[in-house]
Structure 1
Amino acid sequence: MWTVIKFLLCSLAVVEAQHEVNLKADRPYVRVRLGDSAALDCCYATNLSLESIWVIRAQDVNVIRVPESVNASDLVTIGDRRESDTLCGTLSFKSVQLNDSGLYQCFLKSNEVHLFTHGTYMQVYKPLGKTINLSEKTKNRILAAEGILLLLFVLLPAASLLYQSKKLTELKRKKFTKEEENIYQGLNLDDCGSAYDPIERSQGRSQYQDVCAVAEEEEEIDLEKP
C-alpha cells in the first residue's frame, strides 16, 4: 500500500513540475539542400534547472526508430542561449548530409522532469543534376531554331490555304467558261436566219405607219375577179 501511495505522489510531483515548464512553439519543418548549413532550436521557459539533450528520431522505410542522442562533431555544434525568461537549445549543422534527415527534439530532464519538446523535422534533399550540360551559346542557338520553326509552322498553313483558295477560284472560272461554250454548242445561225428576218423587219418598222403608204400598197394588190 505504501508503495502505491509513494508512486502516486512521485507521479503528481512530476506532473506538477512539467506544468512549470512552458514549451515555446518550434519550427515544425525545414528543408535543406545537401551540403548547406542549417540551424535548429528548441525554446522553453521554466524556473527549474533542466538539462537539455538533443535527440533525433530517424525514419527508415515508414518505421521511425527510437530517439538517438545527437553528438557534437566537426560538422555539428550544440549550444544554448537565453532570451529574457526563455532558454533555447541550439543545434547547428555546418554541412548537412542525407542521413541527417529526421525529427529533432530537445529532451529536458531533471530529477522531477522528463519532457520532449515539440521538435522540428529536417529534410535533406539532393538537387537534380543537369541531364545535358549545354553552354549559353548553344542554348541561344536552340532558342533561335525553335523560333524559326514556330514561324514556319504559322506561315506554311496560311500559304497552303491561300494556294488552295486561288486554285479553287481558277477552277470555278474555267467551269463557268465551259458552261457558256456548251450553251451555243451545235447551234447553226444560218438555219436560224429565216426566223430572225421577221424579227429584224418588225424591229426596223416604225411604231406609227403612214396611212397613204398603206393605201398605195393596197392599190397595187391585184384582186381576183369573180
Structure 2
Amino acid sequence: MWMITNVLLCSFVVVVAPDEVDVMPDRPYLRVEFNEPATLECCYSTKVKPLNFEWFKRVQAYNITTDPEMVNYTDRVTKEQQNEHELFCGLLRFKSVEVNDTGLYQCKLNKSSVLTHGTFLQVHKPLEKTINLSETTKNKILTAEGILLLLCVLLPATTLLCQSKKLSDLERKNVRKEEENIYQGLNLDDCSATYDQIERSQAHGPYQDVCNIIEEEEEIQLEKP
C-alpha cells in the first residue's frame, strides 16, 4: 500500500510540475557588432521557487549543426538570473563578443532533457576603412572633383567654338580669293568701252534712225587709228 501511494505521489508531481512552469518564447535572432556587449535571455514564469538553468551552444559547420555543448563561463561570458514577480529570466552576458561566439544558444531548465528554441547570435565585423579621411578632407576632395567635372565640360565646348570661328574665317577668305580670281585678266579699257556702248544703246532706245546709226558708225570708224 505504501509503495502504491509513493508511485501515485510521484506521478502527480511529474504531471503537475510542468504545468507550474510556463516557458516564454526566445528571441530568434540577435546580430551584434564585433567587440560589443550582448545579452541573451531565457525567461519563464512559475509560482514556485526559481529553477536552475544552463546555457548550451550549437555551431553550424559544413552545412551540419553540431550537438549542443555547454557554454564555458569565463570573465567575459557570465550567466545571471533576474526575477520580476512570477517572471524569471536566465541571462547570458557577453562583455565583448568575438567571431567565435556566433551560434545558436539554448537554455535548459532544472537539468531537464528539453531545450528551449534558443537565440541565434551572429557576430559581424564592420568594413575597415582602407584610407581614414576626415570630413574636411572629404569635402575638399568633393570640391576638387566638382571643379574638374566643370572643366571637363567647359574645355571641349570652348575648343569647338574656337574651331568653328576658324572655319568661318577660312570660308570668308576663300570667298574673297574667288572674287579676286574672277576679275583677274580682265582689261579695264575693254570693260569701259563695252559699258559705254551699253549706255548709248539704252540712251537711244530700241528704235533708232538709220541715219543716226550710219553717222555713229562713221564716227566710230573715224576714231579708229
Normalising by the residue count of structure 1, what TM-score does the alignment of the two structures yield? 0.68
Moved more, 40-49 or 73-82: 40-49
**1:139, CA displacement in angstroms?**
4.9
Residue segments in structure 2 that go unaligned for 5+ positions in a row? 1-12, 216-225
Instruction: Read off the aligned partner of 1:30 and give its amino acid letter.
Output: L
**1:179, CA displacement in angstroms?**
3.1
Higher fraction of helix:
2
Distance 1:84 1:185, change over 3 A: farther
1:55, 1:107 within 8 Å by CA — same for their partners in 2? yes
Residue segments in structure 1 that go unaligned for 5+ positions in a row? 1-12, 221-226
**In 1: Cα distance, 2:64 partner to 2:136 partner:** 49
**In 2: Cα distance, 1:25 partner to 1:172 partner:** 88
1:127 and 2:133 aligned: no
**In 2: Cα distance, 1:106 partner to 1:74 partner:** 20
**In 1: Cα distance, 2:21 partner to 2:113 partner:** 11
Moved more, 175-184 or 163-172: 175-184
What is the aligned length?
201
Normalising by the residue count of structure 2, what TM-score does the alignment of the two structures yield? 0.68
Matched with 1:32 is 32
1:42 and 2:42 aligned: yes
**In 1: Cα distance, 2:109 partner to 2:202 partner:** 129
Distance 1:17 1:177, change over 3 A: farther
Matched with 1:166 is 165
Q: Deviations over 1:169-193 (max 9, x none)?
A: 2222223223323433444443344
Q: What secondary structure is seen at the aligned counterpart in 2 of 1:190?
A: helix
**In 2: Cα distance, 1:14 partner to 1:200 partner:** 142
Q: What secondary structure is seen at the aligned counterpart in 2 of 1:25?
A: coil
Q: Deviations over 1:61-103 (max 9, x none)?
A: 4332211112332112212223454432211111112211111
Q: Deviations over 1:32-57 (max 9, x none)?
A: 22211111112234567754221111
**1:164, CA displacement in angstroms?**
1.6
**1:156, CA displacement in angstroms?**
1.4
1:67 and 2:63 aligned: no
Matched with 1:114 is 113
Distance 1:53 1:189, change over 3 A: same
**In 2: Cα distance, 1:177 partner to 1:22 partner:** 106
Q: What secondary structure is seen at the aligned counterpart in 1 of 2:114?
A: strand
Residue identity over aligned pairs, in percent, reads 57
1:196 and 2:195 aligned: yes
**In 1: Cα distance, 2:24 partner to 2:163 partner:** 77
**In 2: Cα distance, 1:73 partner to 1:108 partner:** 21
1:178 and 2:177 aligned: yes
